[in-house]
Amino acid sequence: MKLEGKVALITGAATGIGRASAMLFATEGAKVCIADINEKDALETVRNIEQQGGQACFARCDLQRVAEIRQAVAMAVERYGALNIFFHNAGVAGPGLLEDTTEEQYDQVMDIHLKAGFFGAKFAAPELRRAGGGAMLFTASGLGLRPSRQSPAYSASKAGLLMLTRALAVSLAADGIRVNAICPGPIDSTPLWQGVLARHPDIQAEAYAEMNRQVRPIKRLGNPEEMARAALFLVSPENSYITGVAMPVDGGGAMS
């Protein structure tokens, strides 16, 4: 098992990519702490992991509150004795066009994506250092690699995560801590995807999905399990020579 004996803290693991990653990490031997504000679905993720013989716990965490991020890290360490992997996956759909974006919406997307990633790393780094090193991973986006016409605030927050990834990869390498990012394309059947569709009530959902399929060489949307496998690849100790990478997992969308 690739993560046997490891402890992972995953934000936004109640649903979507986070849930798929928590399930896969646990299957690969990790003890998983799920940090999320969505208690109902987070507890279901915990139950699913436990039913498969794994270990998991839930840390209720509002990622717009720095103190709660600190508490989630502390809970993972208290529960399992160490922290080896910090995976900041939580995300929200962008607020939309420049002229439609309110200050509150801007603050939310920046807080949950970039600020929570920064302070999560700040609190996780000492624990990873004490454990002899480990891995950090951020869920960025293909729209952090190239601009979004529909939501500039979303693109800015995800581009910020990519620079944070690179900066931390440089600053934490001496501590044996690797830092990488995955850059998903559109992922079907996730709350974030539903949020994107809700932002475009004038567009038929299937027509919007078809447009996203056609602009990438692999003519389909991704699924959470594919993102989880990419995440596992980057946090796995067997890939210990990889750091500072922004890996597109988007059916070739970054090239199109």
pLDDT of the residue at 202: 64
pLDDT at position 216 is 83
Residue with tokens 């986070």: 18
Instruction: Give residue 200's pLDDT.
Output: 64
Is residue 254 domain-resident?
A: no
Q: Which pLDDT does position 254 carry in this prediction? A: 83
The answer to whether residue 32 is domain-embedded is: yes
Q: Does the pLDDT of residue 137 top 90, yes or no?
A: yes
pLDDT at residue number 205: 67
Determine, yes or no, domain membership for 154: yes
User: Into how many domains does the chain fold?
Assistant: 1
pLDDT category at 221 given cuts 50, 70, 90 is: confident
Q: Quick count: other Cβ atoms within 10 Å of Cβ 149?
A: 9
pLDDT tens across 74-108, in order? 999 999 999 999 999 999 988 888 999 999 999 99
More confident residue, 77 or 250: 77
Q: Residue 197: what pLDDT?
A: 66
Q: Which of 80, 106, 154, 241 is catalytic?
A: 154
Which residues form the domain of 159?
Answer: 7-188+224-246
In a domain, 149, yes or no: yes
CB 192 within 8 A of CB 16: yes
Rounded mean pLDDT, 192-200? 66
Structure tokens given for 144: 């952090």
Q: State pLDDT tens for residues 39-67.
A: 999 999 999 999 999 999 999 999 999 99
When pLDDT is averaged across residues 177-184 and rounded to a whole number, the result is 97
Read off the CATH number of the domain in which 168 is found.
3.40.50.720
pLDDT of residue 193: 62
Is position 194 within any domain? no
Q: Is residue 214 part of a domain?
A: no
pLDDT at 190: 73
- pLDDT at position 256 is 76
- Per the model's pLDDT, the better-predicted residue between 222 and 34 turns out to be 34
Q: Is 154 a catalytic residue?
A: yes
pLDDT score for 23:
98
Do 194 and 158 contact (CB within 8 A), yes or no? no
Any long-range contacts for 205-212 (C-beta under 8 Å, 24+ apart)? 212/185, 212/186
The pLDDT of residue 199 is 66
> Does the pLDDT at position 149 exceed 90?
no
User: Is 112 in contact with 61 (CB distance < 8 Å)?
Assistant: no
Is residue 207 domain-resident? no
In a domain, 2, yes or no: no
Residue 31 Cα to chain centre, angstroms: 17
Amino acid at 200: H
